[in-house]
Amino acid sequence: MRVVVLAGGVGGARFLLGVRALLDDEAARSTSGGQPQIQVIVNTGDDLTVHGLRVCPDLDTVMYTLGDGIDTDRGWGRRSESWQAKEELAAYGAEPFWFGLGDRDIATHLIRTRMLDAGYPLSEVTAALCERWHLDGSATQVQLLPMSDQRVETHVVCEIEGARRVVHFQEWWIAHHAQPPVEEFVFVGLDDSLPGPGIVEALSAADAVLLAPSNPVVSIGPILAVPGVRAALRESSARVVGLSPIVDGAVVRGMADKCLPAVGVPVTAQGVGRHYGPRKSDGILDGWLVHESDTADVPGVEVRMVPLLMRSPEATIAMAQAALDLCRG
């Protein structure tokens, strides 16, 4: 069973825990069948360079989560983290103050930055970092694939203190708490980017393709916008199933409710499903999972209503099960 998952940060990472546990469990029950495999295509549009270090928030969140190094309360960053370097940087007056580098986390960024500076592409750097974290499950192989080795950065056109500005997504999100109304998202470098190594092949060889319940605009959106990814996904022989990040007309976590209006999409499970659209027309979905209390009419897409709140490992596994069931038809 080869499962490809498109994912952003916290929500995607948690969902992946469920997918991995499910495949491990299926492998343990099965007497036949090859080794299950998860290939995660991860958004890199949130990446930024801060204090000279290259930081990849979504890759790190997925890596730390699957590697059991995540701070489970915050959902991001390292467990048992400390902030001494951050305090010192502030004492020096070194901007930006709004992005906090944890002391443990810094090690990851130092290694990444050094390897990138030495000429290794992000995909190889990511593979090297993941070696330490042992992302595989008891039976399931897990591989993280950055959406592109080229730099693609999400910037936000918005009004801040009366002036029209273009800021990095992280600045809009962290420094300005996603408050400034968004006029437009601009994906700098997108046009010249290529899918990361292995991504087209992964989508082609997949038995199931899942869209994690991540932000459709700034997490799943950039992945699909990398030239070649959307086409490869549409051409996959596997069924493509998405999970709604919107439940009861609100985001479960994050700021999709601030992003969707900027691209003219209603903040509803139906709105996002229609935004992705049916693969049999010009969209990408075969199936769409919405929360049990939601309804969605997405012409050309099979919609199922199941619990979509990741309140426990069991609930998350059940979501993965529902998604794979829908993939299997």
The binding site for a copy of itself (CB under 8 A) comprises 51-53, 78, 80-82, 84-89, 91-94, 103-104, 106-108, 110-111, 113-114, 117, 129, 132
Output 59 or 256, the one with its CB closest to a copy of itself: 59
* Residue 247 host element (H or E): strand 246-247
Output 32 or 80, the one with its CB closest to a copy of itself: 80
Find the shortest distance in angstroms from Cβ 260 to a copy of itself.
Answer: 36
Q: Shortest CA distance to 284 belongs to which of 58, 41, 47? A: 41
Q: Shortest CA distance to 169 belongs to which of 255, 41, 86? A: 255
Rounded Cα–Cα distance for residues 319 and 314 (Å): 9
Output 81 or 294, the one with its CB closest to a copy of itself: 81
**What CA–CA distances, in Å, run from 170 to 45, 87, 154, 176?**
10, 20, 8, 9
Helix, strand, coil share (%) of the chain residues, nearest 5? 40, 20, 40
263 DSSP assignment: G
* 21-30 burial code (b ≥16 CB/10 A, e <16): bbbbbbbeee
Find the shortest distance in angstroms from Cβ 92 to a copy of itself.
Answer: 5
Find the shortest distance in angstroms from Cβ 50 to a copy of itself.
Answer: 9
Find the shortest distance in angstroms from Cβ 53 to a copy of itself.
Answer: 7
Output 125 or 296, the one with its CB closest to a copy of itself: 125
Find the shortest distance in angstroms from Cβ 121 to a copy of itself.
Answer: 17
Rounded Cα–Cα distance for residues 246 and 275 (Å): 13
Output 12 or 77, the one with its CB closest to a copy of itself: 77
The four Cα atoms 149, 3, 230, 54 give a dihedral, to 10 degrees, of: -20
Query: Sign of the CA dihedral 94, 120, 71, 8?
Result: positive
Output 117 or 201, the one with its CB closest to a copy of itself: 117
Find the shortest distance in angstroms from Cβ 60 to a copy of itself.
Answer: 12
Output 34 or 93, the one with its CB closest to a copy of itself: 93
Output 68 or 192, the one with its CB closest to a copy of itself: 68
Question: 2-7 and 37-42: which strand pairing?
Answer: parallel
Residue type, 299: P
130 DSSP assignment: H
Find the shortest distance in angstroms from Cβ 154 to a copy of itself.
Answer: 23
Find the shortest distance in angstroms from Cβ 152 to a copy of itself.
Answer: 23
